[in-house]
């Protein structure tokens, strides 16, 4: 660049240098420093790249269980042989088991430490029942013996039990022992229990965390010793299961495993239907509604034992009832056949027959594509009464129930499909990618909710997704910091569980995929995380590190802001300054000076004087004029014209084009009012009606995390600027996102009269209009 050019470009060059160095505007911040000591030191078990290390190990526990479901006394009676493989480098003198049913004991820590009062609205039926419960819930452990049948010393500490071994189980060796137990089944509480139907006197059973299970011993915590308090879910080992379930002989039993004795427990008609279901494209009824309704009026004549096996699973759950309708279909998932099935009583129809198994099949395909191919032979959705759902390997218990007339609201339908996708999706997180739920709820709920969001939109592009879109998290992000905890908070200490453990991490991942990393880099890294940690136990750092390692994107700032912090995103456009290139053309320059001079002469006094002063002296006395009365001080001289021509001639063609281009330079002042740094995405609307969107990475805030200026050159004049035009960053205040500002819409008030109470759902309204009763297909 030559000297002349520089001097003539003075306006622009001042702007550039101000911007490049930002003297006086540095606002030191550590938002883009590495997480360093926040993350655990990498070692040979877990590497700095986020993958399992060369010395990675995990324990294994195999179970051989015989259990009886006592339908009269609502009781579980079981005995098990556990074989525990010590793959750790350590000798273990004692081992710990989990006694989850002790959650319901009268003096459980959950009860004695639960807080809260009675509100004006009173007390919930559940809380009332619990406060007044007189039943003796919890495990009755009747025997603990070694492989030779000798009793083993054991100590129960709330929801855990320590077994003292006669001699330590050595590194690389295994130990077998047996336990007998029984317990009273609780009413369904959200994770397990029974639902009783007073109308026909039957119960649907959803049996989970029903046997003493091995606690986890690992390289991160040693023995996992956080008690089961109800909110923090489960930390579990993989192993192989053989489970023989004895139930009344008119019950239909479904379980998270492969049925080994179909020939013994199914009728010949059912075996034929099973064969049909192998090639069906819609679920085939193994037990029809008619058959189920007949069964619920009958009584058992004996018992029947259903035998299941499940390999390489971290848990085992089952369901049982004489009320069950059962449908099944074999579906192809990544080139492998998998059974998709549902168990539901007539109360679930017509919704369950139509959607449940189809939603199971869709979930397996959608998740397999993004993680690993579904490795198990079966995936089941059962209809439990409550609205939510609960997951176990290969089997889940889900809500979503129509009205008694068979109609349902759109919310019930979509809620049911959503919850089935979610709970079946949990097969991947945490049943296969076996994160430690007792510690970190977001690692399964957040990742799963993110995949659920993607799967819901593949089910129906208009699906009313609840969680995942940045806009939906805004009300939560607006909360005061004192009413929030970071995503990186232990499960039992989380406030606002749904937003913290599900919605915020799911949204963060969606933002990573759409806005920070892009779909290609994100999808590759996310799949790599699933691949690395399938059938292993990852912790948060393993996820954070893998996402960076496989994508080549430094995301430490993102984890800091979204996972370790509670600050919201709130960007604004404060000011826009407009600069053009001064091309130094004397004709143009003088003309502008003339216009400015004349404009300034239009004062009120001069305007009035035009008529008030009839004639001035120089107007009247012509000889009072001289050279200066007619001199044009804004005329361009020949010298000035020549100087300009010489200047143009001295420029290279490229420089000359730039000088003559008429380009606009805007200096836009963006502010980060919320704290959490995010990319700046800004839409420019030009005077000719066209638009352009510019995207600047979050690192734009690295020298100043409060206020920055950015020079934006354009060919056309910008008439309007809009921040975050696609609602990507969860900005909690969008009123300051436009420049010039948009007028704020008034808040409109509604007359109370307009509100409707308990309106019939749209299906019922339609039926009323048609003068019809219940829609066809409704249950009775
Ligand atoms: Zn969940």
1: CA distance to ligand 1 center in Å? 62
In this prediction, residues 163-187 reach a mean pLDDT of 97
% of the chain surpassing 90 pLDDT: 80
445: CA distance to ligand 1 center in Å? 5
The confidence score (pLDDT) of residue 756 equals 52
Which residues are placed with Cβ below 5 angstroms of ligand 1, an ion? 445
The pLDDT confidence band at residue 749, using thresholds 50, 70 and 90, is low
In this prediction, residues 19-37 reach a mean pLDDT of 73
744: CA distance to ligand 1 center in Å? 39
457: CA distance to ligand 1 center in Å? 18
Give the helix ranges, DSSP H, for 484-583: 497, 504-511, 519-533, 540-551, 556-558
125: CA distance to ligand 1 center in Å? 24
The confidence score (pLDDT) of residue 386 equals 75
State the CB neighbour count (10 A cutoff) for residue 475.
10
Nearest CA-CA partner of 180 in 215, 208, 155, 145:
145
746: CA distance to ligand 1 center in Å? 39
The pLDDT confidence band at residue 528, using thresholds 50, 70 and 90, is very high
**Residue that wins the pLDDT comparison between 187 and 20:** 187
467: CA distance to ligand 1 center in Å? 12
559: CA distance to ligand 1 center in Å? 22
390: CA distance to ligand 1 center in Å? 7
- Is the sign of the CA dihedral 655, 656, 661, 663 positive or negative? positive
Kindly report the average pLDDT of the chain as a whole number: 92
The residues pairing with 252 across neighbouring beta strands, listed in sequence order, are 321
Q: Give the largest Cα separation in the chain, rounded.
A: 136
426: CA distance to ligand 1 center in Å? 6
The pLDDT confidence band at residue 498, using thresholds 50, 70 and 90, is very high
378: CA distance to ligand 1 center in Å? 19
The CA-based angle 610-616-618, given to 5 degrees, is: 130
Quick check: 40 pLDDT over 80?
yes
178: CA distance to ligand 1 center in Å? 32
Inter-helix orientation angle 519-533/351-370, to 10°: 90
CA–CA distance, 570 with 81 (Å, rounded to integer):
57
The confidence score (pLDDT) of residue 75 equals 97
740: CA distance to ligand 1 center in Å? 44
State the CB neighbour count (10 A cutoff) for residue 764.
18
Quick check: 19 pLDDT over 50?
no
501: CA distance to ligand 1 center in Å? 9
232: CA distance to ligand 1 center in Å? 12
461: CA distance to ligand 1 center in Å? 22
* Pair of tokens at residue 499: 């937003």
pTM equals 0.88
The confidence score (pLDDT) of residue 14 equals 37
* Pair of tokens at residue 717: 């004049």
28: CA distance to ligand 1 center in Å? 40
750: CA distance to ligand 1 center in Å? 37
Quick check: 10 pLDDT over 50?
no
Inter-helix orientation angle 441-459/410-425, to 10°: 130
99: CA distance to ligand 1 center in Å? 22
631: CA distance to ligand 1 center in Å? 86
The residues pairing with 681 across neighbouring beta strands, listed in sequence order, are 695
389: CA distance to ligand 1 center in Å? 7
* Pair of tokens at residue 588: 């143009």
423: CA distance to ligand 1 center in Å? 6
Contact 568, 478 (CB under 8 A): yes
424: CA distance to ligand 1 center in Å? 9
284: CA distance to ligand 1 center in Å? 28
522: CA distance to ligand 1 center in Å? 22
The confidence score (pLDDT) of residue 5 equals 39
503: CA distance to ligand 1 center in Å? 11
500: CA distance to ligand 1 center in Å? 12
CA–CA distance, 682 with 679 (Å, rounded to integer):
10
| Chain segment 411-448, per-residue pLDDT in tens | 999 999 999 999 999 999 999 999 999 999 999 999 99
% of the chain surpassing 70 pLDDT: 93
The confidence score (pLDDT) of residue 773 equals 45
CA–CA distance, 35 with 33 (Å, rounded to integer):
7
HEC secondary structure over 711-778: EEEECCCEEEEEECCCCCCCECCCCCCEECCCCCCCCCCCCHHHCCCCCCCHHHHHHHHHCCCCCCCC
7: CA distance to ligand 1 center in Å? 65
3-state secondary structure of 89: coil
The confidence score (pLDDT) of residue 746 equals 72
Contact 329, 285 (CB under 8 A): no
The confidence score (pLDDT) of residue 8 equals 37
372: CA distance to ligand 1 center in Å? 19
109: CA distance to ligand 1 center in Å? 24
Quick check: 767 pLDDT over 60?
yes
341: CA distance to ligand 1 center in Å? 20
173: CA distance to ligand 1 center in Å? 35
421: CA distance to ligand 1 center in Å? 10
422: CA distance to ligand 1 center in Å? 6
Quick check: 133 pLDDT over 90?
no
687: CA distance to ligand 1 center in Å? 50
419: CA distance to ligand 1 center in Å? 9
425: CA distance to ligand 1 center in Å? 8
CA–CA distance, 199 with 589 (Å, rounded to integer):
93
In this prediction, residues 644-650 reach a mean pLDDT of 90
| Chain segment 228-264, per-residue pLDDT in tens | 998 899 999 999 999 999 999 999 999 999 999 999 9
Quick check: 584 pLDDT over 50?
yes
**Residue that wins the pLDDT comparison between 105 and 338:** 338
395: CA distance to ligand 1 center in Å? 13
| Chain segment 358-402, per-residue pLDDT in tens | 999 999 999 999 999 999 999 999 999 877 899 999 999 999 999
The confidence score (pLDDT) of residue 612 equals 93
The confidence score (pLDDT) of residue 25 equals 67
The confidence score (pLDDT) of residue 2 equals 41
165: CA distance to ligand 1 center in Å? 36
The confidence score (pLDDT) of residue 219 equals 97
Q: What is the signed CA dihedral for 544, 545, 547, 550, rounded to 10 degrees?
A: 180
455: CA distance to ligand 1 center in Å? 15
255: CA distance to ligand 1 center in Å? 19
Give the helix ranges, DSSP H, for 192-249: none
The pLDDT confidence band at residue 580, using thresholds 50, 70 and 90, is confident
């Amino acid at each position: 660049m030559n000297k002349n050019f520089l001097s003539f470009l003075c306006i622009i060059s001042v702007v550039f240098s101000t911007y490049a160095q930002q003297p006086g505007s540095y606002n030191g911040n550590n938002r883009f420093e590495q997480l360093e000591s926040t993350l655990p030191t990498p070692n040979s078990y877990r590497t700095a790249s986020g993958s399992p290390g060369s010395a990675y190990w995990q324990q294994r526990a195999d179970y051989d269980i015989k259990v009886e479901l006592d339908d009269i006394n609502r009781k579980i009676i079981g005995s098990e042989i556990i074989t525990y493989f010590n793959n750790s480098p350590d000798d273990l003198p004692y081992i710990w088991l989990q006694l989850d049913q002790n959650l319901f004991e009268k003096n459980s820590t959950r009860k004695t430490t639960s807080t809260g009062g009675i509100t004006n609205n009173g007390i919930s039926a559940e809380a009332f029942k619990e406060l007044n419960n007189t039943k003796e819930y919890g495990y009755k452990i009747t025997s603990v013996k070694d492989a030779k049948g000798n009793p083993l010393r054991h100590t129960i500490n709330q929801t855990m039990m320590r077994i003292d071994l006669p001699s330590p189980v050595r590194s690389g060796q295994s130990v077998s022992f047996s336990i007998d137990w029984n317990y009273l089944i609780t009413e369904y509480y959200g994770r397990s229990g029974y639902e009783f139907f007073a109308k026909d006197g039957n119960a649907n059973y959803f049996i989970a965390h029903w046997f003493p299970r091995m606690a986890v011993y690992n390289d991160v915590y040693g023995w996992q010793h956080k008690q089961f308090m109800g909110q923090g879910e489960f930390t579990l080992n993989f192993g192989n299961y053989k489970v023989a379930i004895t139930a009344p002989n008119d019950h239909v039993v479904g379980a998270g495993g492969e049925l080994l004795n179909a020939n013994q427990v199914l009728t010949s008609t059912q075996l034929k239907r099973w064969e049909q279901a192998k090639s069906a494209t819609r679920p085939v009824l193994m037990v029809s509604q008619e058959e189920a309704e007949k069964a619920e009026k009958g009584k058992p004549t004996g018992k029947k034992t259903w035998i299941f096996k499940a390999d390489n699973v971290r848990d085992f759950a089952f369901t049982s009832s004489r009320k069950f309708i059962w449908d099944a279909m074999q579906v192809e998932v990544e080139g492998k056949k998998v059974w998709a099935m549902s168990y539901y009583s007539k109360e679930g129809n017509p919704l369950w027959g139509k959607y449940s198994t189809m939603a199971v099949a869709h979930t397996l395909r959608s998740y397999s594509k993004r993680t690993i191919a579904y490795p198990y032979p079966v995936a089941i959705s059962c209809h439990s009464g409550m609205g939510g759902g609960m997951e176990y390997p290969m089997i889940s218990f889900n809500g979503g129930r129509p009205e008694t007339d068979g109609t349902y609201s759109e919310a019930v339908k979509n809620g049911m499909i959503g919850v089935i996708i979610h709970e079946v999706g949990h097969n991947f997180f945490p049943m296969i990618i076996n994160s430690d739920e007792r510690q970190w709820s977001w690692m399964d709920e957040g990742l799963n909710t993110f995949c659920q969001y993607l799967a819901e939109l593949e089910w129906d592009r208009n699906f009313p997704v609840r969680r995942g879109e940045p806009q939906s998290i805004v009300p939560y992000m607006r909360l005061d910091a004192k009413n929030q905890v970071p995503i990186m908070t232990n499960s039992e200490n989380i406030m606002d569980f749904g937003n913290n453990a599900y919605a915020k991490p799911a949204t963060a991942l969606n933002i990573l995929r759409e806005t920070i990393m892009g779909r290609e880099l994100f999808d590759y890294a996310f799949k790599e995380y699933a691949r690395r940690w399938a059938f292993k136990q990852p912790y948060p750092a393993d996820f954070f590190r893998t996402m960076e390692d496989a994508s080549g994107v430094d995301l430490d700032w993102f984890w800091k802001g979204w996972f370790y912090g509670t600050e919201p995103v709130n960007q604004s456009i404060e000011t826009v300054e407009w600069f053009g290139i001064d091309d130094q053309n004397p004709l143009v320059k003088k003309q502008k000076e003339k216009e400015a001079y004349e404009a300034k002469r239009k004062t009120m006094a001069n305007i009035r004087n035009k008529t008030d002063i009839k004639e001035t002296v120089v107007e009247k006395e012509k000889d009072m004029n001289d050279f200066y009365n007619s001199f044009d001080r804004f005329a361009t001289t020949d010298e000035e014209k020549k100087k300009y021509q010489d200047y143009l001639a001295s420029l290279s063609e490229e420089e000359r084009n730039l000088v003559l281009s008429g380009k606009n330079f805007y200096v836009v002042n963006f502010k980060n009012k919320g704290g959490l740094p995010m990319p700046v995405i800004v839409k420019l609307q030009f005077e000719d009606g066209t638009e352009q969107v510019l995207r600047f990475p979050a690192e734009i805030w690295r020298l100043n995390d409060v206020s920055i200026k950015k020079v934006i050159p354009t060919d056309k004049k910008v008439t309007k600027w809009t921040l975050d035009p696609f609602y990507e960053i969860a900005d909690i205040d969008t009123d300051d996102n436009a420049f010039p500002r948009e007028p704020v819409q008034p808040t409109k008030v509604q007359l109370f009269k307009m509100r409707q109470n308990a309106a019939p759902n749209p299906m019922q309204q339609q039926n009323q209009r048609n003068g019809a009763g219940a829609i066809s297909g409704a249950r009775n």
